[in-house]
């Protein structure tokens, strides 16, 4: 857990919001270069980052997908008095009046805001909140986005708290999984997809899916923190997600996760299994384009900084659930090459087709 927590601290040392993920992308890229070097291939695309490890040569890969953004605000009509703060993503509107926000320039280097302000009452129509500065921007500085004034990263009594666990924790988890796989030189193929702008309609994931950046035989796992529900509680392990609000996931890929979970339980590492209907995740976006998909989630309190709560607050997950998620994904990566998944059956069926096509 110490490695994952250190990476999470690094990624939360800068703010993020939909379409303003460049700072956290830079942090991730710097970590990848330092920790993984030439053992992986890296691509930076308009929809996000792709990191590939091929330990098994040609053939399908297990794709671990997370997103680099968290709900935030785009700033318009910035003046010396305030701005219009356009809500982008699913913060609880009814709790936002009077909330403090921190405003940043396009590419912040750290968490020091260019200005601080307070949100007005929720608009009756649209998502543009009036924002009044309590600390004005410097002359000539023009902030472009804002995030809630909440702690970037804090650990206390076994809880991890942050303004943006969803889904910066998912990014840290899958990068640490990749590091563990590379370090062990596992004979498996693994890809990491770090998407942009998930909170406003899976924009980065849909860009990847439509461009075919996952191969047809690849299997895609969405990794995120998801709202705690009965049967998926913090402290009881990561959740094998059998579906989301929109769809059920692939039975073969779920069987792979179940096998990985069985091995963890024998080591007394708990794993839960549940259809999480509190929202829709990126696995659904890939499934819509024909990919074999499933998900793993960390049960989350104060979803999107207040849904299910009485006030704006940091998101919360249990530290042990985070470390358990890394263990689960590493186990799945080990099992993946021999699992009878779509890539396996696709290769067998293509061979049959080539043998029989001359008789058509």
Round to whole Å and give the CA distance between 307 and 311: 9
| Three-class DSSP labels, the chain | CHHHHHHHHHHCCCCCCCCCCHHHHHHHHHHHHHHCHHHCEEEEECCEEEEEEECCCCCCCEEEEEECCCCEEEEECCCCCEEEEEEECCCCHHHCCCCEEEEECCCCCCCCCCEEEEECCCCCCCCEEEEEEEECCCCCCCCCEEEECCCCCEEECCEEEECCHHHHHHHHHHHHHHHHHHHHCCCCEEEEEEECCHHHCCHHHHHHHHCCCCCCCCEEEEEEEEECECCECCCCCCEEEEECCCCECCHHHHHHHHHHHHHHHHCCCCCEEEECCCCCCHHHHHHHCCCEEEEEEEEEECECCCECCCCCCCEEEEHHHHHHHHHHHHHHHHHHHHCCCHHHHHHHHHHHHHHHHHHC
Q: Is residue 82 part of a domain?
A: yes
Q: Is residue 104 part of a domain?
A: yes
Regarding whether 140 and 59 lie in a shared domain, the answer is no
Regarding whether 162 and 93 lie in a shared domain, the answer is no
Query: For residue 347, is pLDDT > 90?
Result: no
Q: Is residue 356 part of a domain?
A: no
Average pLDDT, the chain: 94
Tell me which long-range contacts 213-217 makes (C-beta under 8 A, separation of at least 24): 213/45, 213/47, 213/50, 214/61, 214/63, 214/286, 214/291, 215/60, 215/61, 215/343, 216/290, 216/291, 216/346, 217/59, 217/60, 217/342, 217/343, 217/346, 217/347
**0.85 exceeded by pTM:** yes
* Domain end among 146, 166, 186: 146
Query: For residue 221, is pLDDT > 80?
Result: yes
Q: Is residue 354 part of a domain?
A: no
> Which tens digits make up the pLDDT trace of 222-242?
999 999 999 899 999 999 999
Regarding whether 280 and 185 lie in a shared domain, the answer is yes
Regarding whether 53 and 81 lie in a shared domain, the answer is no
Round to whole Å and give the CA distance between 231 and 273: 8
Domain extent for 110: 72-146
Per-residue pLDDT, 298: 97
> Which tens digits make up the pLDDT trace of 288-341?
999 999 999 999 999 999 998 899 999 999 999 999 999 999 999 999 998 877
Regarding whether 330 and 236 lie in a shared domain, the answer is yes
> Which tens digits make up the pLDDT trace of 17-64?
999 999 999 999 999 999 998 899 999 999 999 999 999 989 899 999
What confidence category does residue 153 fall into, taking pLDDT thresholds of 50, 70 and 90? very high
* Domain end among 116, 146, 176: 146
Q: Which of 1-5, 64-68, 132-136, 193-197 has the lowest mean pLDDT?
A: 1-5
> Which tens digits make up the pLDDT trace of 162-171?
999 999 999 9
Per-residue pLDDT, 9: 98
Mean pLDDT of 174-196: 97
* Domain end among 146, 180, 195: 146
What confidence category does residue 343 fall into, taking pLDDT thresholds of 50, 70 and 90? low
Regarding whether 217 and 85 lie in a shared domain, the answer is no
Regarding whether 291 and 207 lie in a shared domain, the answer is yes
Report the half-sphere exposure of 311 (CA within 13 A, side-chain side): 6
Cβ-based burial of 149 (10 A; exposed 0-12, middle 13-18, buried ≥19): middle
CA distances from 1 to 169, 202, 298, 319 (A): 12, 29, 14, 7
Q: Is residue 351 part of a domain?
A: no
Q: Is residue 223 part of a domain?
A: yes
Regarding whether 266 and 125 lie in a shared domain, the answer is no
Regarding whether 136 and 269 lie in a shared domain, the answer is no
Query: For residue 137, is pLDDT > 90?
Result: yes
Query: For residue 1, is pLDDT > 70?
Result: no
Q: Is residue 360 part of a domain?
A: no
Q: Residue 102: which of 11, 22, 164, 168 has the closest Cα? A: 164
- How many domains would you assign to the chain? 2
What confidence category does residue 134 fall into, taking pLDDT thresholds of 50, 70 and 90? very high
What confidence category does residue 178 fall into, taking pLDDT thresholds of 50, 70 and 90? very high
Q: Give CA 154 to chain center in angstroms.
A: 19
Q: pLDDT over 70 for what percent of the chain?
A: 99
Regarding whether 119 and 160 lie in a shared domain, the answer is no
Which CATH number fits the domain that encloses residue 324? 3.40.630.10
Regarding whether 316 and 256 lie in a shared domain, the answer is yes
Cβ-based burial of 229 (10 A; exposed 0-12, middle 13-18, buried ≥19): middle
Regarding whether 336 and 237 lie in a shared domain, the answer is yes
What confidence category does residue 344 fall into, taking pLDDT thresholds of 50, 70 and 90? low
Q: Is residue 175 part of a domain?
A: yes
């Amino acid at each position: 857990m110490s490695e994952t927590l250190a990476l999470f601290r690094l990624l939360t040392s800068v703010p993020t919001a939909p379409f303003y993920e460049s700072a956290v992308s830079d942090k991730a890229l710097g970590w990848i270069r330092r920790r993984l070097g030439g053992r992986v291939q890296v691509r930076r695309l308009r929809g996000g980052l792709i990191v590939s490890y091929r330990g098994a040569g040609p053939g399908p890969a297990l794709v671990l997908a997370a997103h680099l953004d968290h709900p935030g605000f785009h700033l318009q009509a910035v003046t010396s008095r305030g701005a219009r703060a356009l809500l982008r993503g699913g913060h609880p509107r009814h709790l936002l009046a009077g909330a403090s926000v921190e405003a940043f320039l396009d590419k912040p280097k750290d968490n020091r805001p260019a200005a601080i302000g307070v949100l007005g009452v929720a608009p009756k129509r649209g998502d543009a909140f009036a924002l009044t500065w309590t600390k004005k921007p410097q002359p000539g500085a023009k902030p472009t986005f804002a995030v809630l004034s909440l702690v970037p990263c804090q650990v206390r009594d076994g809880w991890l708290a942050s303004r943006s666990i969803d889904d910066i924790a998912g990014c840290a988890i899958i990068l640490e999984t990749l590091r563990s796989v590379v370090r062990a030189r596992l004979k498996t193929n693994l890809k990491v997809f770090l998407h942009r702008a998930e909170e406003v309609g899976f924009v980065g994931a849909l860009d990847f899916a439509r461009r075919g950046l996952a191969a047809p035989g690849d299997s895609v796992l969405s990794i995120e923190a998801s709202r705690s529900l009965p049967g998926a509680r913090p402290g009881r392990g990561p959740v094998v997600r059998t579906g989301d609000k929109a769809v059920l996931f692939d039975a073969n890929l779920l069987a792979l996760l179940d096998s990985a979970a069985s091995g963890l339980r024998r080591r007394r590492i708990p794993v839960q299994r549940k259809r999480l209907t509190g929202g829709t995740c990126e696995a659904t976006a890939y499934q819509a384009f024909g990919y074999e998909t499933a998900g793993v989630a960390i049960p989350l309190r104060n979803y999107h900084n207040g849904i299910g709560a009485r006030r704006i607050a940091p998101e919360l997950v249990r530290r042990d659930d985070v470390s358990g998620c890394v263990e689960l994904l590493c186990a799945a990566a080990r099992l993946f090459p021999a699992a009878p998944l779509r890539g396996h059956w696709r290769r067998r069926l293509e061979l049959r087709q080539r043998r029989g096509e001359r008789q058509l």
